[in-house]
């Protein structure tokens, strides 16, 4: 998977992977971060790494693959937005538990759908079926 990335994607992948290690090493040794930062940074970087490594591909129509790669980048941006929203509004979201705004619910739905797509790419369709049945 890593070998199929272009040069810029490999650099981004490497920088993100190393920064994840450095962040958690710093947090473990020097100064622990707040809950929302620990969870949020882990999830954001993991999502970006997965969408970089597990490309959208069409075996039926290979000419469609460049357009599908654009959807990977859109999913990366949506992931950063949804998880970033959670990180930045962590305290407010906790205080209004049970009284979520329509925007909170929309962001949450986008986040769940992105998580399902991520699981489908990494584990396969069976995990998605089990996850949807659990909802």
Question: What sign does the dihedral 95-135-71-18 (CA atoms) show?
Answer: positive
In the structure, how many helices (H) and strands (E) does the chain have? 6, 0
Sorting pLDDT into bands at 50, 70 and 90, what band is 37?
A: confident
* pLDDT over 90 at 14, yes or no: yes
Q: How far apart are CA 22 and CA 27, in angstroms?
A: 8
**pLDDT at res. 78:** 96
**pLDDT at res. 43:** 94
- Report pLDDT digits (tens) over 83-124: 999 999 888 888 887 888 899 899 999 999 999 899 988 988
* pLDDT over 80 at 56, yes or no: no
Owning domain of residue 37: 2-134
Structurally, the chain folds into a number of domains equal to 1
**pLDDT at res. 130:** 87
How much is the mean pLDDT over the chain? 87
Sorting pLDDT into bands at 50, 70 and 90, what band is 60?
A: confident
Helix axis angle, 35-53 relative to 65-88, nearest 10°? 180
Both tokens of 61, joined, read 């129509």
pTM of the predicted structure, to 2 decimals: 0.85
């Amino acid at each position: 998977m890593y070998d199929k990335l272009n040069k810029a994607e490999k650099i981004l992948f490497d920088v993100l992977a190393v920064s994840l290690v450095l962040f958690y090493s710093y947090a473990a040794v020097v100064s622990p971060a707040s809950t929302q930062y620990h969870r949020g940074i882990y999830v954001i970087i993991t999502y970006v790494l997965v969408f970089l490594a597990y490309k959208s591909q069409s075996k039926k129509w290979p000419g469609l693959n460049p357009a599908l790669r654009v959807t990977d980048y859109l999913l990366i941006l949506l992931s950063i937005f949804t998880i970033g929203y959670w990180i930045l509004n962590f305290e407010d979201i906790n205080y209004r538990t049970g009284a979520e705004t329509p925007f909170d619910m929309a962001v949450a739905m986008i986040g769940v759908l992105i998580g399902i797509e991520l699981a489908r790419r990494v584990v396969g369709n069976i995990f998605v079926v089990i996850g949807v049945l659990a909802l």
